[in-house]
Amino acid sequence: MGLYRDQHSLIPVADLPQPFRSTFHFRMNNCGPWNRWVFVVVVVNENDAVVGLTNFDLNIDDEKEEEAFVSARHCSASSSSFGDVVVGENEEEIVLFVYCRYFNSLQSECFSGCFLSDINMVISAPTASGKTVLFELCILRLMSKFLSSEGKFNHIKGTLKTIYIAPSKALVQEKLRDWCMKFHSLAIKCLEMTGDNESYKAKNIQEADIILTTPEKFDAVTRHGARNGDLSFFSDIALVLIDEVHFLNDPRGATLEAIISRIKMLSRISEMRSSPLAYVRFLAVSATIPNIQDIAEWLSVPAQGIKRFGEEMRPVQLTTKVFGYAPAKNDFLFERVNFWPFTFFILVILTAFRTLFLVRKKVKSFEQLILFSNFLVCFIAISSSYKSWEYITDILMQYSRGKSALIFCSTRKGALESAQCLSQIAMSLGYSNPFIKSIEQQQKLKEASLSFTDKQMQSCIIHGVGYHNGGLCMKDRNLVEGLFLKGDLQILCTTNTLAHGINLPAHTVVVKSTQYFNREKGLYMEYELSMVLQVHLYENLLNGCEMVESQLLSCAMEHLTAEIVQLIISDISLAIEWLKCSYLYVRIKKNPENYGIERGIPHKCLEKHMQEICVKKIKELSEHGMIWTDDDGFLLKPLEPGILMTKFYLKFNTMKLIVNAPGSCSVEDVLRIISHSEELSWIQLRRNEKKLLNDVNSDKEGRLRFHVLSENGKRKKRIQTREEKIFVLANDCLTGDPLVHDLSLNQDMNSICMSGCRIAKCIKQCFIYRKNYKGTITSTLLAKCLHHRLWENSPYLLKQLPGIGMVTAKALYSAGINSFKSLGAADPRKIEIITGRKYPFGNHVKESLLLLPPKVEIKMEEAECKKAGKLKLIVTLNRTCLSATSTKHHYADMLVGSDEDNMILFHEKMRYSTA
């Protein structure tokens, strides 16, 4: 047997599991010559499967459009892992529909390493070169361990786990859809672990064979109990797939580095010696990068596991052209978006973007393949003026040739505004709209627009322009992706979400601006002017000359604490070993200057410096009460503040603010701590926001509970800092009826409420640990308010119920229905009349009251106490109502404290159900 590699060479695969000894005939579309080796996985029944390569020698009838059908006899199959199975008239006759394709040279080169061995691998290759197949080969290699010597597939759920890690939720969800379809017939269970999916339970994780996740989510889930049994699934991890590993160079890459280092550390402990984790395998793929050897060293990849492919792997070779244009006369237009008032360049690249686009076309020749996959990229530094968008429209018309185009913007707001500008231009052109090619396309877009929940998207889509960013709901994201894939939507404005490997093929791509927004620093980071003028930067990015550096050092404190909390690190020697497991350790030896160390320092001194870094950070953690160390500073144990910092995923500087907070904190004090937190430091105060924020803080109608004050105690007339902006936005949001409706400010407001709620919960737990009664009460109240985005005495409390928005809440309030009690007493028909809603809206609103926690009656009485000077209280809790329809569990904290002494006397967390 052999695998097709190219026209002249074969790879021997004699040690593959034996395929069926039957003649299989497959339906194959557009696969080219048939006398080749095809990779096949066939499921016989629930327990039996065959994995292997088969040589097909089929006679092709050209008149049948390259489709061939033959029967497969003497087997009883239920389905194929890559397609459907149709049973013929004869019970013994099966026709298998298998999505067959040939391995390209990259896949053939990597096949033996991926499927015929268990070595760690790192592969660097350009986009669209077919790297995803390598992941699937490694998964099949792992699953083949369930094959018996007789070829039976004895699968045991969740005992050999694969962890797939990608930088974005969109990429995770794309792979989830693909692999659920491909591996379903093998009963391989896939589980999404991202912020969009919080419904999984411990049982789901235990039974999952493939866990698809982002670095942050996997880090958050595995920060507690990986060693003490709470997360026993860790021992079942046998394969770790890292997509877009060059993401290490991003500020968020520190989290990826930390979780891989955690897996490496856990695989070395004695308790894991007999588990799959002890022999965990790593496969990392990336775009073209120059220092692939460093990543290989970090992942312990042998020489034969390092595969680097250049631009020759692209379906179409790169062609570069440079154009220039005159800048706007009004420099302020450029200043408004932080662009330099100089002449800018447009860099045009022809390449290919993902092979999925090619599959949808009837490609008869290589010339046609080039025609279909020509891909134009324009790097443009422009202002957001209407005139400049006319210029971009001209570029799109000239180079996209009526085909699909992506426009990358640095922010969500930029993506929305770009789509609105282009749709306005398209609307002004009327029947000459370049983005609508036919009446049929226009009708499809009109029908699709009605399905979107986003009103602004509806108005853009009908003109052939859409936008895609993380602010869209999942339904709208899927809709716009589907329209773009089908070719019904020609222009899609997006953020860098789609740049992380999302499979949306396009003919033309415009990269708007020469800046990007760095969320960690809260700034637009602009490239050096000389580099832009000489186009060196873009050459570096495109040709893979940008070195991948570690980002761990800046947040090592948080990740080091997390490992101590998990008991993975219990002394200083293990802390140093953890640091040596990191990518930071590899790069600091190669490029010490990047990490604040002089170049040319001897290796021994460098080792000593690394130890000093570790000791210094541990000492600082100890000084602030995060961990305990012995007198020698050798033994390490977590303390409650460090445990809370890890649990709530907070930054060290934020935790220092919490630890130093006075025990008698008011709600306003807690809100100010949140405003100064490092989690929200990425939020910036923009010039065009100041007037609106000043008006909100002036609060002429008396809406706000708290205000930004000047030194004389009066309300500040000018908002001047990021912290003041956050404080004003939080207060405006908690009124229930905010004045702020700007897209960017709304996104900031959403982040403030989400992160603020998490920080407030941590503050509450910290005060409970310190037994501060007043601080616990105020932080508990603020956490609930931020969660529901309402003050506890807001007139719009009914907004908490599903189906009641601001308009409905205001109508009910005007009619005197402003509490759950008054709503429960109201007639359903009266509710419908007041709100202008149709039947059975009133019934649904009344039913939603059953989902609320049951009312609890508290009774306190004094009891006789034998101890002198002591008071004994008996507290009795009684539910006043029961629900027979809901079994939802609710949680409550019971606090008994002394207001005078600011001391918690008793605390207990309770769980009770509504049934």
Per-residue pLDDT, averaged over 577-583, amounts to 93
Q: How far apart are CA 845 and CA 230, in angstroms?
A: 40
Q: What is the pLDDT of residue 468?
A: 87
**Is pLDDT above 50 for 78?**
no
**Is pLDDT above 70 for 521?**
no
Place of tokens 């000084």: 623
H helical segments located in 212-361: 215-221, 253-268, 292-298, 331-336, 356-359
Q: What is the pLDDT of residue 318?
A: 52
Max CA pair span of the chain = 103
CB 95 within 8 A of CB 280: no
Q: What is the pLDDT of residue 91?
A: 34
The CA-based dihedral angle spanning residues 678, 682, 686, 690, taken in that order and rounded to the nearest 10 degrees: -30
**Coil/strand/helix, residue 861:** strand
Report the candidate in 36, 40, 28, 41 with the shortest Cα–Cα distance to residue 10. 36
H helical segments located in 269-410: 292-298, 331-336, 356-359, 366-373, 386-399
Do 552-646 and 795-852 share a fold?
no
CB 333 within 8 A of CB 381: no
Pairing of strands 465-468, 491-494: parallel
List Cα–Cα distances, 371 to 130, 282, 394, in angstroms: 19, 37, 21
Per-residue pLDDT, averaged over 879-887, amounts to 62
Report the candidate in 164, 170, 105, 103 with the shortest Cα–Cα distance to residue 139. 164
Q: What is the pLDDT of residue 862?
A: 85
**Is pLDDT above 80 for 786?**
yes
CB 513 within 8 A of CB 408: no
**Is pLDDT above 80 for 750?**
yes
Per-residue pLDDT, averaged over 486-501, amounts to 77
Q: What is the 3-state secondary structure (H, E, C) of 672-710?
A: HHHHCCHHHCCCCCCHHHHHHHHHHHHCCCCCCCCCCEC
Q: What is the pLDDT of residue 163?
A: 97
Per-residue pLDDT, averaged over 127-134, amounts to 83
CB 466 within 8 A of CB 475: no
Q: With cut-offs at 50, 70 and 90, classify the pLDDT of residue 775.
A: very high
Q: What is the pLDDT of residue 597?
A: 85
Beta strands in 409-540 (DSSP E): 465-468, 491-494, 508-512, 515-518, 523-526
Q: What kind of architecture, by CATH, is found in domain 402-529?
A: 3-Layer(aba) Sandwich (3.40)
Task: Return the minimum-mean-pLDDT range out of 381-385, 398-402, 597-601.
Answer: 381-385
Q: How far apart are CA 860 and CA 60, in angstroms?
A: 88
**Is pLDDT above 60 for 11?**
no
Q: How far apart are CA 105 and CA 409, in angstroms?
A: 35
pLDDT, tens digit, 9 for 90 and up, residues 107-130: 889 999 999 999 999 999 887 788
Q: What is the pLDDT of residue 356?
A: 27
Cis peptide preceding 840, ω within 30 of 0:
yes
Residues 6+ apart with CB under 8 A from 303: none
pLDDT, tens digit, 9 for 90 and up, residues 468-483: 887 788 788 889 988 9
Report the candidate in 484, 549, 518 with the shortest Cα–Cα distance to residue 291. 549
List Cα–Cα distances, 61 to 34, 64, 68, 69, 847, in angstroms: 12, 6, 8, 11, 64
Both tokens assigned to 155: 């699968």
Phi, psi of 491 (to 5 degrees): -115, 130
**Residue 913 CB coordination number (10 Å):** 14
Q: What is the pLDDT of residue 687?
A: 86
Strand partners, 2: 12
Q: With cut-offs at 50, 70 and 90, classify the pLDDT of residue 454.
A: confident
**Is pLDDT above 90 for 730?**
yes
Q: How far apart are CA 612 and CA 755, in angstroms?
A: 33
706-745 CB burial, b ≥16 within 10 A, e <16 = bbbeeeeeeebeebeebbbbbbbbbbbbbbbebebeeebb
**Residue 554 CB coordination number (10 Å):** 12
Both tokens assigned to 167: 């930088």
Pairing of strands 2-4, 37-43: unpaired
**Residue 105 CB coordination number (10 Å):** 15
Q: What is the pLDDT of residue 332?
A: 35
CB 636 within 8 A of CB 629: yes
pLDDT, tens digit, 9 for 90 and up, residues 530-566: 233 333 444 454 455 678 999 999 999 999 999 999 8
Per-residue pLDDT, averaged over 644-664, amounts to 95
Between these two residues, 668 and 327, which has the higher pLDDT value? 668
Is the CATH number 1.10.10.10 carried by domain 552-646?
A: yes
Q: How far apart are CA 838 and CA 748, in angstroms?
A: 35
CATH of domain 795-852: 1.10.150
Task: Return the minimum-mean-pLDDT range out of 97-106, 300-309, 332-341, 538-547.
Answer: 332-341
**Is pLDDT above 60 for 45?**
no
**Is pLDDT above 60 for 499?**
no
CB 404 within 8 A of CB 510: no
DSSP 753-815: HHHHHHHHHHHHHHHHHHT-HHHHHHHHHHHHHHHHTS-TT-TTGGGGSTT--HHHHHHHHHT
pLDDT, tens digit, 9 for 90 and up, residues 684-693: 898 889 999 9
- For the chain, the distance separating the N- and C-terminal CA atoms, rounded to the nearest angstrom, is 64
**What is the chain's alpha carbon radius of gyration, rounded to the nearest angstrom?**
31
**Using the 8-state DSSP alphabet, how is residue 850 labeled?**
G
**Is pLDDT above 90 for 587?**
yes
CB 489 within 8 A of CB 463: no
Q: What is the pLDDT of residue 342?
A: 30
Phi, psi of 554 (to 5 degrees): -70, -20
List Cα–Cα distances, 903 to 558, 663, 896, in angstroms: 30, 9, 9
Q: With cut-offs at 50, 70 and 90, classify the pLDDT of residue 516.
A: low
Half-sphere exposure of 798 (CA within 13 A, CB side): 28
Residues 6+ apart with CB under 8 A from 173: 192, 194, 196
Report the candidate in 683, 769, 674 with the shortest Cα–Cα distance to residue 730. 674
Task: Return the minimum-mean-pLDDT range out of 123-127, 205-209, 329-333, 361-365.
Answer: 361-365
Q: How far apart are CA 292 and CA 310, in angstroms?
A: 12
Sign of CA dihedral 259, 265, 266, 272: positive
Q: What is the pLDDT of residue 857?
A: 86
Q: How far apart are CA 675 and CA 655, in angstroms?
A: 13
Of 1.10.3380.10, 3.90.79.10, 3.40.50.970, 3.30.56.10, the CATH number of 653-794 is 1.10.3380.10
**Is pLDDT above 80 for 357?**
no
Q: What is the pLDDT of residue 192?
A: 93
Per-residue pLDDT, averaged over 405-429, amounts to 84
Q: How far apart are CA 643 and CA 411, in angstroms?
A: 35
**Using the 8-state DSSP alphabet, how is residue 69 labeled?**
-
Report the candidate in 246, 291, 252 with the shortest Cα–Cα distance to residue 591. 291
Q: What is the pLDDT of residue 537?
A: 42
Separation of CA 344 from chain center: 33
Percent of the chain with pLDDT over 90: 39
Place of tokens 């709304």: 746
List Cα–Cα distances, 393 to 433, 468, 479, 483, in angstroms: 11, 19, 24, 20
Report the candidate in 622, 682, 621, 612 with the shortest Cα–Cα distance to residue 652. 621
Residues 6+ apart with CB under 8 A from 547: 249, 289, 290, 291, 591
**Is pLDDT above 90 for 609?**
no
Sorted by where each begins, the domain ranges of the chain are 105-318, 402-529, 552-646, 653-794, 795-852, 854-914
Report the candidate in 693, 795, 819 with the shortest Cα–Cα distance to residue 737. 795
Residues 6+ apart with CB under 8 A from 864: 872
Report the candidate in 39, 640, 559, 534 with the shortest Cα–Cα distance to residue 257. 559
Both tokens assigned to 365: 């020749």
Q: What is the pLDDT of residue 344?
A: 32
Angle at CA of residue 564, ends 562 and 567, nearest 5°: 115
CB 418 within 8 A of CB 407: yes
Between these two residues, 868 and 41, which has the higher pLDDT value? 868
Among 48-52, 520-524, 757-761, the range with the most confident prediction by mean pLDDT is 757-761
Q: What is the 3-state secondary structure (H, E, C) of 267-288?
A: HHCHHHCCCHHHHCEEEEEECC
Q: What kind of architecture, by CATH, is found in domain 105-318?
A: 3-Layer(aba) Sandwich (3.40)
Percent of the chain with pLDDT over 70: 73
Residues 6+ apart with CB under 8 A from 330: none
Q: How far apart are CA 517 and CA 206, in angstroms?
A: 38
Residues 6+ apart with CB under 8 A from 111: 3, 11, 103, 137
Between these two residues, 50 and 868, which has the higher pLDDT value? 868
The amino acid sitting at 869 is: G
**Coil/strand/helix, residue 59:** coil
Between these two residues, 690 and 49, which has the higher pLDDT value? 690
Q: What is the pLDDT of residue 638?
A: 95
Q: What is the pLDDT of residue 520?
A: 54
Per-residue pLDDT, averaged over 489-504, amounts to 72
Both tokens assigned to 298: 């970090």
Q: What is the pLDDT of residue 317?
A: 58
